Structure 1
């Protein structure tokens, strides 16, 4: 938002977080129309929200580490190599 207020160009803004100029244009339009509320993240629309017990279980499983879950090494990535 500060960058919009300073008048930075969409191209300059898009270069830093590596997003498209089109996304920055959309954010700027939402900022003009609705202010800060227009550009605040609403989260991923496709993600379901976990319950407290589910979050606790996830934390336990993450603590156990990737090897226990069949991964070839200790790296936790979305693109890791499985056995």
Structure 2
């Protein structure tokens, strides 16, 4: 992934937009990554994947409720924050 400083992104904004149509572009400030610029198509793909994941998570929860296999809210969020996405 190409990376630009925040100042380069500002001074080369048009070129940044063109590059982002082909590949994501990372923006760094004070040497640290702070943002990624992507095309609208890539952004929409990411949002669709998130929507599908949430829908699957909801359906799994609904199925668990039907089988009386539920977690309390605290345990659910503990698992979620721990990276357990099953």
> What TM bracket, shorter-length normalisation?
under 0.3
Normalized per residue, which structure has more strand? 2
Q: Which protein has greater RCO, CA pairs closer than 8 Å, 6+ apart?
A: 2
Superposition TM-score, scaled by structure 1 size: 0.27
Q: TM-score, normalised by structure 2?
A: 0.26
Bigger share in helix: 2
